[in-house]
């Protein structure tokens, strides 16, 4: 929690999730950190972290029958390799799309590429 609730540490951790760090302006940092400055939000996050249990997800992940698209940046160091499935769990029929020059925050760094990938994926299964 010290990393999340201290603005300087938060900034450092957040910047590690960007390929293009010029996107992380002071304004973006302030906006992103805003909830973490709220006492009630910090309590909720701590309770969530203490009570998180992914056992049900692990047990049911192989039941997924629907086509699944996983998009990630080619410089993403925050999540397991795509060969390991979604968040480390294998998914049958998983389609993957890797976006160049992008880290973990694909939706912020390359929103246009992400949207294109989703549209093309949806066209394949309509």
Q: Is 101:20 a contact under the CB 8 Å cutoff?
A: yes
The band of 80, judged by pLDDT with boundaries at 50, 70 and 90, is confident
Residue 9 CA to residue 63 CA, distance in Å, equals 39
122 compared with 86, residue with greater pLDDT: 122
Residue 88 φ/ψ region, left for φ over 0, alpha for ψ in the -120 to 50 degree band, beta for the rest: left
pTM of the model: 0.74
pLDDT at 26: 93
């Amino acid at each position: 929690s010290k990393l999340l609730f201290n603005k300087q540490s938060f900034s450092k951790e957040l910047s590690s999730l960007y390929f293009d760090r010029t996107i992380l302006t002071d304004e973006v940092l302030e906006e992103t950190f805003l909830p973490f400055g709220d006492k009630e939000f910090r309590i909720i996050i701590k309770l969530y972290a203490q009570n998180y249990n992914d056992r049900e997800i692990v047990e049911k992940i192989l039941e997924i029958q629907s086509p699944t698209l996983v998009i990630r940046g080619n410089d993403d160091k925050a999540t397991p390799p795509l060969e390991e499935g979604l968040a480390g769990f294998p998914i049958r029929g998983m389609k993957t799309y890797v976006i160049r020059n992008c880290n973990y925050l694909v939706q912020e760094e390359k929103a246009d590429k992400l949207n294109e990938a989703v549209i093309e994926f949806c066209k394949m299964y309509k």
